[in-house]
Amino acid sequence: QVQLVESGGGLVQAGGSLRLSCAASGPTLFFRAYAMGWFRQAPGKEREFVAALNWSGGSTKYADSVKGRFTISRDNAKNTVYLQMNNLKPGDTAVYYCARGTKATWGDYGIDYWGKGTLVTVSS
């Protein structure tokens, strides 16, 4: 089993920044072998893709809505993936979830583990 625990959410004013962390653990982790991603779900909306990166962090993908404002990164030595969020907007308000891909690169390969999420609220 693999556990993903998000942290770093909170209340921030529009234009502000937050840094989310996702710490991974578990006996079958092999963290550096898998792509990781962030998703979010706003109230009354479906969960949507935010950002992802491959096993090394050398390849990243972003939703158009966050390009230029969010940065995904990982520290394989710490089994942690991060999401730096700058210039936050009220539309970014959502629960943010960490997810592990099933392969070393991110694509339509599915997700095998999810975290429980951390709430980000952006006030106007």
Q: Is the confidence at residue 16, as pLDDT, over 90?
A: yes
Q: How far is CA 98 from the centre of its chain?
A: 5
Bridge-partner residues for 6, per DSSP? 22
* CA distances, 37 to each of 10, 19, 61, 69, 100 (Å): 20, 15, 9, 16, 6
Q: How would DSSP label each residue in 3-50?
A: EEEEE--EEEETT--EEEEEEEE-TT--GGGS-EEEEEE-TTS--EEE
**pLDDT of res. 108:** 86
Confidence category of residue 29, pLDDT binned at 50, 70, 90: confident
Mean pLDDT, residues 57-80 taken together: 97
Confidence category of residue 30, pLDDT binned at 50, 70, 90: confident
Average pLDDT taken over every residue of the chain: 96
**pLDDT of res. 1:** 86
